[in-house]
Amino acid sequence: MHKYKEIFNVVQQDLDDLDHVNNIRYVEWIQEISRKHWFKATTQEIRETMIWVVKNHNITYAKPALLGEEIIITTHIAKTKGPISVRVVEIRNNTTGHLLVNAATEWCLLDAETFRPKRIPESVQNLFNNT
């Protein structure tokens, strides 16, 4: 299983009225890390023929992230079936290792021209299993 990760610093714009990272910001990070992983693993040619849309987000918030904290976001593909890919994202405090957020998102692969669901090619699945 190929994992992708990045480190972020919590800044003022990430916070809500309770001075915790806003739930919407977590969703943005989930989508951002997913997109970056897709771009790192695939070629321009692949990206021109297929696109992903979110079918379902399942997010569990365990602890808040606060201003100035460094967080590490890790993602990987947990499973695929037909046009559906389940991507797991974990957000942790990079200093303590405490889990802040755990998310599982169902993504549906679409043909870029027809916007119809498309079975995930084995060649694409292998990009995320063997690297």
What single-letter DSSP state applies at residue 69? Answer: -
pLDDT digits (tens, 9 = 90+) for 23-48: 999 999 999 999 999 999 999 999 99
Share of the chain above pLDDT 90, in %: 95
User: 120: exposed, middle or buried (C-beta count within 10 Å: 0-12, 13-18, 19+)?
Assistant: buried
The whole-number pLDDT of residue 1 equals: 65
What single-letter DSSP state applies at residue 21? Answer: B
- Tell me phi and psi for residue 100, to 5 degrees: -100, -45
pLDDT at residue 129 above 90? no
pLDDT at residue 63 above 60? yes
pLDDT digits (tens, 9 = 90+) for 90-117: 999 999 999 999 999 999 999 999 999 9
In single-letter form, the type of residue at position 32 comes to E
Q: What domains appear along the chain, each with residue ranges and CATH number?
A: 4-129 (3.10.129.10)
pLDDT at residue 131 above 50? no
* Residues 6/33, Cβ–Cβ less than 8 Å: yes
The SS3 call for residue 46 is helix
CA distance 6 to 45: 25
Residue 24's contacts (CB-CB under 8 Å, 6 or more residues apart) are none
